[in-house]
Structure 1
């Protein structure tokens, strides 16, 4: 509690005693410090007035005297005397121009006598620094700030604490004779001395009176009932409400609510119609895609495809009950909007055996080179170029491969040309790949070679590598005179399966003269009848192949030509060596090699 401005005598005595105790303790501290050798600068840490007393006693010049004066506290207080330094002044003394001037410590002011100092009341002079929520309390030479405490109603401040006021003990309550006071925090209650039965309550005089539940309770009855108060209780009576057609009483009986004929099924909408509830009634509407037929009083389907031709679907419009559906022709699919049609890329499903090209509304299958598209339009079949070729693909043999073909040559005697189609004969005689003996002559053949040697018959001499001439005959040798004048060796080759008859050799005199006449014939080597001779004119004869040669075969035939010139006859001989080739070609290719 803040102290009052006028302290009691007891309080003044306590203050004086406390001041005396402080001065003695601070002085004793100064004397001890001087005796133990401490410095005097310790006084700055003690505060006022203890520091001043400490410093004075440290100099051993201090005297303490309790004097009585009429200060503002109305009691005695300790005055500090310093006869050695302060002179006539009670606190501080200074000499100015040879004269004594007294002054006071902070918190004190010089009295009118110019010597004594009195305490300054900072609280009264409003020179304190307390906050608005604090109370200033003056002290000797200073002041203190105490927190102000305000107690609510029903409480009082005791020892700086708000404590409850017991109105029942202090008899400050207003309870009547029929009630008992009961203290509560900050207040009190008046409890009746005896209780009333249910439905009643006591008044201020202790009488039991009826409780009106209809007004005291928030909702004694439901919203559809009226509350009627009775003595000690109440009753609920249902309200009677009359509703218009299309409305009915709510479940709580409080109001009329709309009757939903659509939900209850009491409407009279026809089949296919939609019932829409309205306040007090309802409405029958046709479903979307239907229109009302006033004649038949029914909802009939709207054919949107007829009503909006060409405007609903990009391709085909199909009417459905209450709506329509768009569809697309083959090769198209319905777009996301359900109306337009998009081309279907059938190639994404790999319908073709090899290549697929998407086209508008369809697709086309293609085959790679060397294949042909079968009748199903999807599958690719390899082309057998060897069997179907009209032209000449290979000179010897055609081998079909997947998607193409390859040409092959006989295993021996030929190599493939750079064009990959024709076979080139290997000249074994030139490359010295033959095995002919020294006395034989190597003759290259298509696909091989022959080692041939011939000697002139008796009575002939060899005039060249292929020709022998008759030596003069004795006059008596008729056989010698009938033998050929000249024998010439020819090597010929022709193809197997050649088309017959085929002319393979011609013979005639050189030079020929008008009137010449020849006779040609095969005198040896045609036992199997493969060859025949013909006279082309009077001076030219020819040898023909008249029988098909199915397999490679060698022939050695002697052909004789007799020349009749100017009545004289001369015969000439030719030995023909026909060596087969290894080409066995189909008939359409034979002409090329004739």
Structure 2
């Protein structure tokens, strides 16, 4: 129902005070609330903040102050949005804040104004038909009308510019003159037709004789309710509800939609099942049934079923845990093994104590948690890149030896030796050993003085010195070939010469032998180690290579081999 309201102008914010209709209706109360509203308007205008504390002792006055402040603040922000639309044709603010309440109001009114301007530009009606809300519709219409009038004025020509300016100054924004702005005099709904203000009420209310106030309609008295047979009508503010005449009965409860709903006694805990029983809900009641005895690794759920327990969630294993159906399994990381005692603790594997531990490292194995480390002797060796083997340091190459200038540095396993070889009388060094480079072999060639018959008839033509470094073979089960002597044809070899190899000195305990072999058309003497030798060990083998013709040695080469056996197998 609608009725024209009196023409008395009331501050707009009273639209938000419809909920205060229960206050005492009197002139003094209205004046008091209008003063409270004026305070709220001043806070919005001057402070731009409605979150400040309100000083009034009256709860109703504080409510009015807050609502009027928010309404006024919204109008101020809306006016800013209209200005943005008219001045720059877009709604982007300079501060770039798009999340605050102020930015929301500004943007909404700016968009509504731009829609009005766009409608005018496209020749559409300024009477909006979109469901964009009351306030947005008013802004839409105001900007559309104002834009239309500006366009009409532009067509009249430059000669009437003064008159145009005068008209624009007198033109007021229809939104600002809207008598329903802020709610107008109406308690619920307001519509300004231009000639008068018409008030109306929400559904469930009717307009009173004063034309502005609304009262609740008692649908139960007027008979406009929809309650069915067996239901009673109960009036509520602005509406009504239907209630069953009879109760739902034991085990049920009445819901808001007037239907009966089963009460879950098990969920609410109002059952009386003993600890050894499980409550199971039924329609209108419940029953208690004995608990199932689940096997180890299972637990009973709310429905009484035995489900698997995820034991791993309680971290029973010292390292890795894998849940399996009805149980769990512990695993260990690399370098650890599961304890045979409890099956959950991971114990470090002593790799050095394993049957293969002696072969993990070349020299010494050191066990560490989850792994192992290899080390080498304190001197003469360094750890190889693989972290396991020990590699000999060649002190002769690195220059870390202490040999004198008259000595030759010979590298051996785990160290070095400084040796000096001098050729005996009637012998001289061969040209290939006179250079300054350090070599492992020194070769002396016979050089007789004139008329030295003894020297000439001496069968020894060359005397050589060489150095061989050997490890201690930890698994000695067959002869090891260590030296190869290739026969050198003498300058004037006798026909059909027989080459004989022999070890004449230094073969202690018969640890070595020498055999003859033919390789690539050459006669080769192979020196072999035939017995195990535990280092450190040093021996000098004197080897002879004899060219025998007719039972007489016609030519002889002597090789002195300095053998150094390391105490280590690497």
Which structure is richer in relative contact order (CA contacts within 8 A, separation 6 or more)?
A: 2
- TM (norm. structure 1) is 0.40
Between Structure 1 and Structure 2, the one with more strand by share is 1
Structure-2-length-normalised TM-score: 0.42
Bigger radius of gyration among the two: 1
- Structure with greater proportional helix content: 2
